[in-house]
Structure 1
């Protein structure tokens, strides 16, 4: 039986099909464009290659092609009966994910990697802040992610992908220096690993290295395909760096070319959350945002997330609806919020409504219900700074300047030395 590049025995008819699969895995783990085509080539060479169909399903999912992805995972399940335990379980992990059972998928992935730690395509399901651990909605999920990648790291040796995954875990638990060292080692092995470039930006953000972060990312993005899954989100980072350096022209350029609806080619969840976050953080910093931008984003949220259930998306959809004045859609979120952190989405949605009305007292009452457990909402610390800055701004509007500064100093000290809030300087 042939083995893939991670040493896993794989039921495939030819080395040529396996070679295409390995190319696809490298592209996928590096968040580079082209994985879908490589996986398709693999199954074109061997239509009975079950794991090739799984990989194709995952790549199609990450490009938003869900009907085709579900067809591919169904084909893999049809081919699974004669496979060994590792491959059958590999398929089952993805089948649970595609059938809308994230808790069962997460539990099976964690059991699976205990026996098959180098089954990288399965292992990545629980890695990253956007994985099954990151979107668990549980308190302590950052520590759980660190424990997960810590257990896997020794099995991977000098593997650029796992280094970058563990480096993010270190970053999100405050170990910035260690994260940066490991991230640079990962990038030295594969400079075009978009995950590592992404996480390096997070480490630089956490360290307050605005100028260096902006310079690095601007250069790195030059050769990154705008069809790749992280292009839009990395453009968000670029826009955020520009905002922090008061470069409005560059900020709007990044938004209009790579972040917002009609520009970004990534997943709808990234388009929605990144656009809402940068628009409101711009407003907090004193930048004028045209009402038409909020109206466009509200329409986008209504089109792609008409019902609640993905709490991180719902949080940002509520913001878009509030800023656009679409009260009915905002009320729908606050009334029906469900999903991994629906209990937190409801008060945040009410806070957005109050903020839009400049009812700062009500906004504070709603926000205090969630500020102790914002990690449950998902996303990175940098992304959740949307709430940290919103909370501080509400305190400022109520004349509680000392409390606003205390909140940032104790919760997000990286922002406290020069808070990107216009209200601090008014």
Structure 2
């Protein structure tokens, strides 16, 4: 039998199928465009190649094509006879994932990777910000993710993919020098790895290196296909640095060209959260955001996240609805009981409602308890700075400027000298 580039046996005897499969895996690991095409070529070369169909299912998930993903996983099940134990377990993990049995899928991933740590398509399900650990809603999820990627790193060593996701986990717990070293090593092996360029941007952000980060991403993204998974989110990072450096023209050019719902190729959760965070961070920085931008985003949120349950998306939907003046949609989220962190979604949504009414004191009362452990909501530190900066802004608006500065020093030192908030300096 043939093997993949990690030395794992594949139940196909056709080199063309194997080669296309390996190419598809690398597209997913690097977040580059072309995974669906590659996996389609793999199963065209060998229609009975079960893991090729699994890979196609995963690629179609990233394409936002859930019916296509279900069709592909059904094809994989139909060709499951004769698989190795590792391949059967691999298929079972994705079967659970596509059934929406998230908790069981996470357990299955961890069991599978304990036995097959080099099976990267399964392993990556629990890595990254929006993986099953990152979106678990559990306290201490950042440390849990670091422990998970550490085990993978021990098994995979000098591999460009594991170095990028392990570096991300290091970044999120504040081990920035180690994170940057991982990113640079990963990019030296594969400069096309968008995960590494993304997490390098995060590390530069956490280091307060805005000018360097802005220049780096402007150069790197020029060769990155706009249809790729992370293009919109990397553009968000660029726009945040443009905002920080008071380049309003570039901010809106990037938003309109790569982030807005009508132009982004990102997954809906990225489109919603990136757009909402950028618009509101622009407002508290003192920029005027046209009302139609909020109305468009509110409509997008209601289309793709009509019911509560994805807590990180829910707080951004609530923001869009509040700023668009859609009280009916907002009310659903202020009372939600659904989602992995619904107890935090409710007060955040209530805070957005008070902010829309310019009731700064009420908003501060709603948001304050959330600040103790908002990591449970999901997202990276950079993404949750939406809440950190909102909290600082509410302190300022409520007449507590000294406390705002003390809070910045204690909670987010990168903002202690200068924060993108009107009147903070």
Alignment correspondent of 1:314? 314
**TM-score with structure 1 length normalisation?**
0.98
- Helix, strand or coil: the match of 2:424? helix
Answer with 73-82 or 187-196: which moved more: 73-82
**C-alpha distance in 2 between matches for 1:331 and 1:81:** 50
Q: CA deviation at 1:82?
A: 2.7
Counting matched residue pairs gives 425
Q: CA deviation at 1:369?
A: 2.1
Alignment correspondent of 2:401? 401
Alignment correspondent of 1:62? 62
Q: How does 1:216-295 map to 2 (within 5 A)?
A: 216-295=216-295
Please tell me whether residue 85 in structure 1 is matched to residue 95 in structure 2: no
Alignment correspondent of 1:419? 419
- Helix, strand or coil: the match of 1:192? coil
- Helix, strand or coil: the match of 1:424? coil
**C-alpha distance in 1 between matches for 2:281 and 2:166:** 29
Give CA deviations for 1:217-270 in whole Å, capped at 9, x if unaligned.
Answer: 000110110000000101101100100100000000110000011111111111
**TM-score with structure 2 length normalisation?**
0.99
Whether the aligned pair in 2 keeps the contact of 1:272 and 1:300 (CA below 8 Å) is yes
- Helix, strand or coil: the match of 1:339? coil
Q: How does 1:189-228 map to 2 (within 5 A)?
A: 189-228=189-228
**C-alpha distance in 2 between matches for 1:415 and 1:122:** 38
Q: CA deviation at 1:150?
A: 0.6
Whether the aligned pair in 1 keeps the contact of 2:336 and 2:345 (CA below 8 Å) is no
Q: CA deviation at 1:155?
A: 1.2
Q: CA deviation at 1:337?
A: 4.4
Q: CA deviation at 1:417?
A: 1.4
Alignment correspondent of 2:144? 144
Answer with 9-18 or 39-48: which moved more: 9-18
Answer with 315-324 or 401-410: which moved more: 401-410
**C-alpha distance in 1 between matches for 2:364 and 2:288:** 23
Give CA deviations for 1:271-300 in whole Å, capped at 9, x if unaligned.
Answer: 110000000000011011001100110011
- Helix, strand or coil: the match of 1:336? coil
- Helix, strand or coil: the match of 1:229? coil
**C-alpha distance in 2 between matches for 1:100 and 1:311:** 16
**C-alpha distance in 1 between matches for 2:126 and 2:39:** 21
Q: CA deviation at 1:336?
A: 2.5
Q: Structure 2 unaligned segments of length 5 or more: list them.
A: none
Q: CA deviation at 1:31?
A: 0.4
**C-alpha distance in 2 between matches for 1:259 and 1:173:** 27
Q: CA deviation at 1:88?
A: 0.9
Give runs of ≥4 in structure 1 deviating > 4 Å.
Answer: none
Whether the aligned pair in 1 keeps the contact of 2:418 and 2:424 (CA below 8 Å) is no
Give CA deviations for 1:319-352 in whole Å, capped at 9, x if unaligned.
Answer: 0000000000000112234111111101100000
Whether the aligned pair in 2 keeps the contact of 1:13 and 1:49 (CA below 8 Å) is no
Q: How does 1:102-117 map to 2 (within 5 A)?
A: 102-117=102-117
**C-alpha distance in 1 between matches for 2:309 and 2:13:** 41
Q: CA deviation at 1:13?
A: 3.1
Give CA deviations for 1:161-199 in whole Å, capped at 9, x if unaligned.
Answer: 000011001100000011101110100000010000000
Give CA deviations for 1:18-65 in whole Å, capped at 9, x if unaligned.
Answer: 000001111110000011100000000111111111110111100101
**C-alpha distance in 2 between matches for 1:197 and 1:269:** 20
Q: CA deviation at 1:158?
A: 1.4
Q: CA deviation at 1:16?
A: 1.1
Alignment correspondent of 1:179? 179
**C-alpha distance in 2 between matches for 1:337 and 1:269:** 20
Alignment correspondent of 1:18? 18
**C-alpha distance in 1 between matches for 2:49 and 2:69:** 16
Whether the aligned pair in 2 keeps the contact of 1:397 and 1:423 (CA below 8 Å) is no
Q: Structure 1 unaligned segments of length 5 or more: list them.
A: none
